Structures are given as C-alpha cells and as structure tokens.
Structure 1
Amino acid sequence: MASKPVWEQIGAGFVQHYYQQFDSDRTKLADLYTDASCLTWEGVGFQGHKAIMEKITTLLSPLLQSLPFQSIQHSITAQDHQPTPDSCVMSMVMGQLKADTDQVMGFQQTFLLKNVDNKWICTNDMFRLALHNFGA
C-alpha cells in the first residue's frame, strides 16, 4: 500500500489533534491560531487569536443558548485534504458532536493550514452545524 501524500498526513494529523484538544481542554487550541487567523462560526466572523479563543472557550450549547456546555465529544465521519498552490493544506471535516445532554448533531468544519516557522497553524476556520429548517 502506498503511503499517503504529505498533505493528507498533515491534514489528518491536524484534525486528530484539534478535536482531541477541543474535547478535552479547548484552551490548548491557542497555539493553533495567530493574530491573522480568521474563524467563521455559524456565520459570525472572528479575527485574531484573542477573539477566536474567546469564542472557542465560551461556546454556547446550540439548543440551550443561554448555557455554556461543560462537555463535548466529536466523532469524525469523513475528512478530505488538499494542497493549495501556496503550500498550504485545506481540510474539510464532517462528523457528529454531542454537547452535554443535547441531541447528537451533525457538523462541517473547514480548516486552512499554513506552515509558519516549522509549525502548522490554522489561518482560516469555518464551522457550521448540519441543521436544516425544512419547514420554511
């Protein structure tokens, strides 16, 4: 069996690390973002390390908007990775998450990773729950 391309290895390694840290201690994600990083969370944008970490560490439960969730568990069902022309790696993740006692929900997340000083950082991060309003 041929080994995976380097961008697949980088992307898969990042995804595994990201969700392990997110599920156990979100504050440990701080090293993955810089002041130039951007996050779009459910259509709302955040730019810079401080704003992103404030959002990530104070996320609200999707079903109980006034209560921060205490625990979360992600299950990755699919991930795809591509190299970009400027030597970055784009990763798209699909999966399910469970926050506290909320129902299991699908989600999609896309990361753009860049090597800065021999360390892969997230320059762009886009997250959406896979919720649909079919009654509209």
Structure 2
Amino acid sequence: MEQKAKIDQACRTAEEFTKLYYESTDKRRHLISKLYLDTGLLTWNGNGITGNERIQKFYMDLPSSDHTLTTLDSQPILDNAVNGQLSFLIQVSGTVKYQDKGPKSFQQSFVITAQNDKWKIVSDCFRLQEPLASPDKS
C-alpha cells in the first residue's frame, strides 16, 4: 500500500477506534477486554497489566469516568518493524473526569493491529498529566 494511503487509513482508523475505545471505557466497561489482544499490555500511570482478562478486571475496579479528547494523531508502523502486520500508533490527549473529581489532563498512546477484520490493542500506555514534584531546595 502506498505510504500516503496508509497514513490516511491510520487517521481514519484512529478516529473510529478512539470513539469506540472511550465510549467503552466511559459507558460499557464490561466490554473493554474485547478491544485488547489476549496478550495485550496496559501501562496505566506506570503500573503494567498484561492479558485482556486482567486488563478487564483493572478497568472494572476504576471509578466511573468521562473522557474528552483534545488531540488525536496516528501513523502507520513500518512493515519491517511489525513483520508486515498492518499496525498503527495512535496518540491522544485530553481530559478525564473520575466520579465527582475535577477534570485532569491525560495522555495515551496505543499500538493497534488488525486481527480477523477487527482492530486490537497490542500496547496501551495511559498517563495522567500532573506536575513533577519540585526538588527539595534545602
């Protein structure tokens, strides 16, 4: 596939995929494991969870959420890096509100791959954007 066509496909796929992902996270969490490979990896604020069943349990234990996206970008991953398997890198930023707490900024990156006509998450890295602690000046 021509590179420009792959980039266009990556952008369209990112829009469709993130809409499904954040609707699932915010409203249908009990279905979230279907979006991950069986061996998928979630890194959530530095905590690693492997396997879609363990990821499902992790999400079910989180408080209810409401995500709002502000940026979305995607690009194809070079064929030789993924043995020719159609895969995309998706990068997202926005705000998330958990239960009655105020909104917090977040950043998230996904690597997704095509499997049986469905997109599956290979790797997912989520991070709340909080200021770094200032070093002690004593």
Band the TM-score falls in, shorter-chain normalisation: 0.7 to 0.9
Alpha-carbon separation, structure 1, partners of 2:132 and 2:87: 35
Alpha-carbon separation, structure 2, partners of 1:130 and 1:76: 14
Segments of 4+ moved more than 4 angstroms: none
User: Which of residues 3, 6, 29 in structure 1 aligns to 2:9?
Assistant: 6
- Tell which structure's C-alpha radius of gyration is larger: 2
Partner of 2:74: 81
Partner of 2:122: 123
Alpha-carbon separation, structure 2, partners of 1:37 and 1:73: 23
Pairs within 5 Å for 1:43-54: 43-54=46-57
Higher fraction of helix: 2
Length-normalised TM-score, structure 1: 0.85
Shift of 1:25: 1.8
Partner of 1:19: 22
Shift of 1:135: 3.3
Alpha-carbon separation, structure 1, partners of 2:13 and 2:112: 9
- Unaligned regions of 5+ residues in structure 1, if any? 60-68
User: Which of residues 58, 61, 74 in structure 1 aligns to 2:61?
Assistant: 58
- Unaligned regions of 5+ residues in structure 2, if any? 80-85
Length-normalised TM-score, structure 2: 0.84
Corresponding letter in the other structure for 1:50: E
Shift of 1:134: 4.2
Deviations 1:75-114 (A, max 9, x none): 0000100001132011000000111111110000101110
Corresponding letter in the other structure for 1:83: P
Alpha-carbon separation, structure 1, partners of 2:87 and 2:105: 27
Partner of 2:82: none
Give the number of equivalent residue pairs. 124
